[in-house]
Structures are given as structure tokens and as C-alpha cells.
Amino acid sequence: EAQVTQNPRYLITVTGKKLTVTCSQNMNHEYMSWYRQDPGLGLRQIYYSMNVEVTDKGDVPEGYKVSRKEKRNFPLILESPSPNQTSLYFCASSSLRGAGRMNTEAFFGQGTRLTVV
Amino acid sequence: DQQVKQNSPSLSVQEGRISILNCDYTNSMFDYFLWYKKYPAEGPTFLISISSIKDKNEDGRFTVFLNKSAKHLSLHIVPSQPGDSAVYFCAASYSGGYQKVTFGTGTKLQVIP
């Protein structure tokens, strides 16, 4: 079954304690990305990756790190979480088609509800 | 700077009638547009997309229209069903190496039986 798997689903942590949210996809997709969803702001892209070892900033990258050492995995790292990073996080993957590398429909994980106190 | 806007936070429609969800964008470089549907406690799921070389794309009850000159797209659902009640997000991207994806803020659709 094609899927994007995020872990954990729920996480409560304290300010400053480093954490990692894992993301894995089984569709051999080149493109992976992380989003955060906040009330009234929709989904905002944090980081994306077009292939192994290729990552780039989205619209709200401050306070986050990512890595893409393998095609299937794209972890999100919060080195020093703060309360303003309390949010619902989604990982997604998609394929890039054609000469123009068109970013096609994304498959999303179930989400990670993070609370930083 | 919100490059993709969904100005209606919510919409209520009677079952069997048409639902029209709107989305406006400001960046003329966007060349691919998608709609996603999201139920509570789940990740968004892809619904339908359209390339900028087209002005209409249809898939069953769902049709997306693109008006490039107005930088506007809309999603039509006909007929609307109670199971369509969800939050709908439009998204835009452009190819050619710069691959950010920008989402709108979402429209919550309620289909009343």
C-alpha cells in the first residue's frame, strides 16, 4: 500500500529539548516536504527536498532542520523547540514529472500534533 | 505575503446542489494548481489538478476551472454530497527548478443533508 508514515502522531515536549519527527515514504518519490498547519494560516511549507542530499527552504524554515540521506526518509529536526512551534505537522511526498520537473499530486502523512510547553 | 488566497473560510451547501470553492493567486509564475481535501485528524488527500496550459479539468463530480488572466481558479462539485464535507485547500507550484509549493488557507465546506 502506497503511504507516507510519520512518527510520532502526538508529542508534548518542553522548550529547548531537541526532537526529531520521522517521515518515510514507500513510493520512490523524488520530492518530499514538511508543512505546518495553523488555524487561519492553512498549510505552510517548512522545507522541501527534490532528491537525496538536495534540500531547500520553504516559506517558514526558521527553527527547523531537515536531512535527506536516503530517498525514502525525510526527518524534521527541531534543535531547540519553542512554544511558537506548537502546531500540526504534515510530511508529504510526490513525483516530479517531465522535463519541467512538474510537481504532481502529493501524498500526505497522518500528521504529528506537537505541543511545546 | 499570501500568494494563494481562499477568501471564504467556510461554505454551506444543500445536498444535491453545486458547491463552488474559489482560490486566487498573485504569482504569475505558478503553472500547476491542485486541490486537496482534508478531513479532521487525517492528512490532506489529492482531489484534482490543472496545468496552466488548460482552462478546465474534470474528474467525475469535480471540475476545476482556471482563469489565468484573472489569476483565479475554482473547484465545482456537482452534485454535492454529505461526504464532501471537509476542508478544501488549493495549492500552486511552478516548475523549472524552484519547487516550493504554496497552499491557500482553506475553505471548510459543509454539505447539509
Average pLDDT in chain B:
93
Q: Which amino acid is at A13?
A: T
Q: What's chain B's Rg over C-alpha atoms?
A: 14
Q: What is the pLDDT of residue A84?
A: 97
Q: How confident is the model at residue B95, as a pLDDT?
A: 72
CA of A42 to nearest chain B CA: how many angstroms apart?
4
On whether any CB of chain B is under 8 Å from the CB of A50, the answer is: yes
B44-87 pLDDT, tens digit per residue, is 999 999 999 999 999 999 999 999 999 999 999 999 999 999 99
Give the SS3 label for residue B83: helix
Strands A10-13 and A31-38, by their bridges, are unpaired
Taking CB atoms and an 8 Å cutoff, what residues of chain B touch A41? 105
What integer pLDDT is reported at residue A104 of this predicted model?
77
Percent of chain B with pLDDT over 70: 96
Contacts of B52 in chain A (CB under 8 A): none
The cell for B110 is 459543509
CB contact under 8 A, A110 and B96: no
| pLDDT tens string B9-50 | 999 999 999 999 999 999 998 989 999 999 998 999 999 999
Which residues from B are below 8 Å from A100, CB to CB? 31, 95-96
C-alpha B43 chain-centroid distance: 16
Question: Does the N-terminal peptide bond of residue A61 adopt cis geometry, omega within 30 degrees of 0?
Answer: no
Q: Would you give per-residue pLDDT tens digits along chain A (117 residues)?
A: 889 999 999 999 999 999 999 999 999 999 999 999 999 899 999 999 988 999 999 999 999 999 999 999 999 999 999 999 999 999 999 988 766 666 778 999 999 999 999
In angstroms, rounded to a whole number, what is the distance separating the alpha carbons of residues A67 and A89?
16
